[in-house]
């Protein structure tokens, strides 16, 4: 049930306004950074304020203006959107502190550009979350690509520039496919608004629908499914806070979120399963899960290994979507916040190690666990979670995903999930054992990272555990509401 409210628009505007203020106060670092902090808290408050409404079954909705009949800029904060929005905005608060600490310790340059682009990117990610139609989503999706490009090339080295070019080459090309899909959808249906159950039913031949589905998939290359993944490991050249929040949460989740939106709200579950497209997506996702995990095994650079792990984990979400069963949907949606909290902990730890020791390769991290015990403990928590072991939230995803595979009667995917867990253990536990149980070659006076970095990473690590203990608040509740809307069942 729609309820006219401009709070979603406000949530998108706060980071955008902060971006402008950051530009204005570019010569006063203290004021500039405080705008980031203030905006992140305000955005979080704004998103949180919508929770009670959504829990009660209402959906804040705002249509700003109409471009053509059936084509408008509109926003809706349904439960589905809030999962992504709440994840991004809550982690942005922590990431802002971490960014400041990281940049101070790293003597970063061009900080105005950095914080400006960061705020714009968050605004765009929220825009993707709250958009109520394809065109609005496309607009923010493109802004997200462009605003993160300066962050990827932040170092301005040749390597960074090459990564930046690759980033744009992949994502802008994908954007073209996305645009084509939006055009075609509008042409077929005369509208692009999301509706549970889909809007494409009976609007074209099966072949056309398959083509459209594939162009949508290519359009959402931000989901980094293989073979459209190679921009993500390259983008790890960016500063660690960027890799942590944008290339593990906001940008890549915008991709999987988009795919989920399109499957559930444009095509509809019935059509996707009737055309066998769910199986196609599930195959792509399974392939990505296994292959990316294997690629992760071969990486010695910690951030690159984490990037391949992200690629593999994103496809968990895609697999959950593709199963098209209630448990599969729950697994997909719940993994958006869960993976975010776990992976950001891992990246935060990696960043702390880079700042304090300059080490980026796993083979050089011998004994680092004794020097930086808290950091590595949190890293271990994140790693355990990704592997799907208790007491961290990752196991909940795996549980629902396995249930979903059984519900769908596709036991092959159960095998995929289990073998992937083994691979996860294989690529994470060597890091932990190197860090804790091997002796360093030379003893250096390394100590824990500054509090600005240590506290955020501790919080995200603890949250990962808390989310296992109390998954209901708020994410699982949101997920069940969203699942009920998508499958059309009665609200619990």
Partner 1 sequence: MIIDHFPVLVVVLPLVGAFVTLLAGWADRRLCFPIAMATTFIQFCISLQILSRVMQTGPLHYNLGNWLPPWGIEYVIDQLNGFVLVVILFLCVLTCLYSYRSIHSEIDEKKIPAFYTVFLLLVTGVCGIAVTGDLFNLYVFLEISSLAAYALVALGREKRSLVSSFTYLVMGSVSACFILLGIGHLYIATGTLNMADLARLLPPLYGSTVIQSAFIFFIIGLSIKTALFPLHLWLPDAYRYSPSAVTVLLASVVSKIGVYALIRILFSVFTPAFIIIEIPVMEVFCWLAAVAIIGGSVLAIAQTDLKRMLAYSSVSQMGYILLGIGIADNLAVTGGILQILNHAVMKGCLFMIAGAFIYTSGIRSIDDLRGIARTMPLTAAAFVIAAASMIGIPPTAGFMSKWFIALGALESGQWIFVLVILASSLLTAIYFWKVIEYMYFRDPGTRCAEVVSTARDPPAGMLVPILILAAACVLFGIFVSIPLEVIEPFVTGILGGI
> Using CB under 8 A as the criterion, which residues of the chain lie in contact with partner 1 when the complex forms?
65-67, 73, 135, 138-139, 142, 146, 150, 153, 156, 160-161, 164-165, 168, 172-173, 176, 179-180, 183-184, 186-187
Phi and psi dihedrals of 280, rounded to 5? -60, -50
User: What minimum distance in Å lies between the beta carbon of 5 and partner 1?
Assistant: 22
Comparing C-alpha atoms, which of 75, 11, 9, 16 is closest to residue 41? 11
Q: Kindly give, in sequence order, each residue whose CB lies less than 8 Å from that of residue 444, ignoring residues fewer than 6 positions away.
A: 357, 371
Comparing C-alpha atoms, which of 216, 253, 258, 259 is closest to residue 232? 253
- Closer to partner 1 by Cβ: residue 136 or 480: 136
- Closer to partner 1 by Cβ: residue 191 or 461: 191
- Closer to partner 1 by Cβ: residue 3 or 173: 173
User: What minimum distance in Å lies between the beta carbon of 176 and partner 1?
Assistant: 5
Token look-up 């932990």 returns: 432
Paired sense of beta strands 59-68 and 2-4, if any: parallel
User: What minimum distance in Å lies between the beta carbon of 149 and partner 1?
Assistant: 9
- Closer to partner 1 by Cβ: residue 200 or 336: 200
- Two structure tokens written together for 112: 């105005």
Instruction: Spell 84-101 as b/e; 16+ CB within 10 A means b.
Output: bbbbbbbbbbbbbbbbbb
Token look-up 């074209």 returns: 204
Q: Give the Cα separation of 259 and 220 in Å (integer).
A: 7
Q: How many other C-beta atoms are found inside a 10 Å radius of the C-beta of residue 134? A: 28
User: What minimum distance in Å lies between the beta carbon of 142 and partner 1?
Assistant: 5
- Closer to partner 1 by Cβ: residue 187 or 473: 187
User: What minimum distance in Å lies between the beta carbon of 258 and partner 1?
Assistant: 15
- Closer to partner 1 by Cβ: residue 168 or 317: 168
Phi and psi dihedrals of 2, rounded to 5? -75, 140
Q: Give the Cα separation of 353 and 147 in Å (integer).
A: 27
User: What minimum distance in Å lies between the beta carbon of 468 and partner 1?
Assistant: 40
55: three-class secondary structure by DSSP? helix
User: What minimum distance in Å lies between the beta carbon of 161 and partner 1?
Assistant: 6
Instruction: Let me know: does 142 contact 219? Beta carbons within 8 Å.
Output: no
- Closer to partner 1 by Cβ: residue 124 or 252: 124
């Amino acid at each position: 049930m729609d309820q006219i409210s401009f709070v979603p628009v406000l949530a998108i505007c706060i980071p955008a306004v902060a971006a402008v203020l950051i530009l204005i106060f570019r010569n006063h670092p203290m004021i500039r950074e405080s705008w980031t902090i203030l905006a992140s808290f305000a955005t979080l408050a704004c998103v949180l304020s919508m929770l009670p409404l959504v829990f009660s079954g209402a959906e804040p909705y705002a249509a700003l203006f109409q471009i053509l009949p059936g084509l408008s800029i509109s926003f809706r904060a349904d439960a589905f959107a809030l999962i992504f929005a709440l994840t991004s905005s809550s982690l942005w608060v922590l990431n802002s502190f971490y960014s400041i600490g990281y940049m101070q310790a790293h003597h970063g340059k061009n900080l105005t550009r950095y914080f400006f682009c960061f705020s714009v990117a968050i605004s765009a990610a929220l825009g993707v979350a709250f958009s109520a139609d394809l065109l609005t989503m496309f607009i923010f999706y493109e802004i997200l690509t462009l605003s993160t490009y300066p962050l990827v090339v932040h170092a301005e080295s040749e390597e960074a520039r090459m990564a930046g070019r690759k980033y744009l080459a992949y994502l802008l090309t994908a954007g073209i496919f996305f645009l084509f899909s939006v055009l075609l959808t509008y042409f077929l249906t005369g509208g692009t608004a999301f509706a549970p159950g889909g809007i494409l039913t009976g609007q074209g031949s099966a072949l056309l629908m398959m083509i459209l589905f594939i162009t949508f998939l290519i359009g959402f290359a931000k989901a980094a499914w293989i073979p459209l993944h190679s921009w993500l490991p390259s983008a790890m050249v960016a500063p660690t806070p960027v890799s942590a929040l944008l290339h593990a949460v906001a940008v890549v989740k915008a991709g999987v979120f988009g795919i989920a939106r399109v499957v559930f709200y444009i095509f509809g579950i019935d059509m996707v399963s009737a055309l066998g497209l769910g199986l196609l997506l599930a195959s792509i996702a399974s392939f990505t899960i296994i292959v990316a995990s294997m690629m992760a095994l071969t990486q010695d650079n910690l951030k690159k290994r984490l990037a391949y792990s992200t690629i593999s984990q994103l496809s968990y979400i895609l697999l959950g979507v593709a199963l098209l069963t209630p448990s599969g949907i729950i697994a997909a949606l719940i993994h958006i916040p869960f993976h975010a909290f776990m992976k950001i902990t891992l990246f935060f730890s990696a960043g702390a190690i880079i700042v304090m020791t300059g080490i980026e390769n796993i083979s050089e991290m011998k004994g680092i666990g004794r020097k930086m015990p808290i950091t590595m403990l949190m890293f271990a928590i994140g790693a355990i979670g990704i592997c799907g072991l208790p007491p961290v939230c990752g196991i909940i995803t795996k549980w629902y995903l396995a249930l979903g595979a059984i519900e769908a009667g596709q036991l092959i995917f159960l095998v995929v999930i289990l073998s992937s867990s083994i691979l996860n253990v294989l690529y994470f536990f060597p890091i932990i054992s190197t860090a804790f149980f091997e002796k360093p070659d030379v003893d250096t006076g390394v100590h824990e990272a500054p509090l600005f970095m240590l506290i955020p990473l501790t919080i995200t690590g603890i949250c990962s555990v808390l989310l296992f203990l109390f998954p209901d608040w708020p994410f699982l509740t949101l997920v069940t509401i969203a699942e009920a809307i998508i499958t059309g069942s009665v609200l619990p």
